[in-house]
Amino acid sequence: MRQSQAETRRHNVAKRSMTKEVRQLTSLIAGLRKSLEGIQKERMSTKLSSPEMGFLDERRNNLLLTIAALDDRLSAVQGLINLGRPHIIRVH
The single-letter code of the amino acid at 59 is: R
25-80: pLDDT as tens digits: 999 999 999 999 999 999 887 788 889 999 999 999 999 999 999 999 999 999 88
Q: What is the pTM of this model?
A: 0.81
Contact call for residues 60 and 36 (beta carbons, < 8 A): yes
Kindly list the domain boundaries of the chain, sorted by start residue: 3-81
Contact call for residues 63 and 34 (beta carbons, < 8 A): no
Instruction: Give residues with Cβ within 8 angstroms of 17, minimum separation 6.
Output: 86, 88, 89
Helix (H, G, I), strand (E, B) or coil at 88: coil
Confidence of residue 90 (pLDDT cuts 50, 70, 90): low
Measured distance CA(46)–CA(56) in Å, rounded: 12
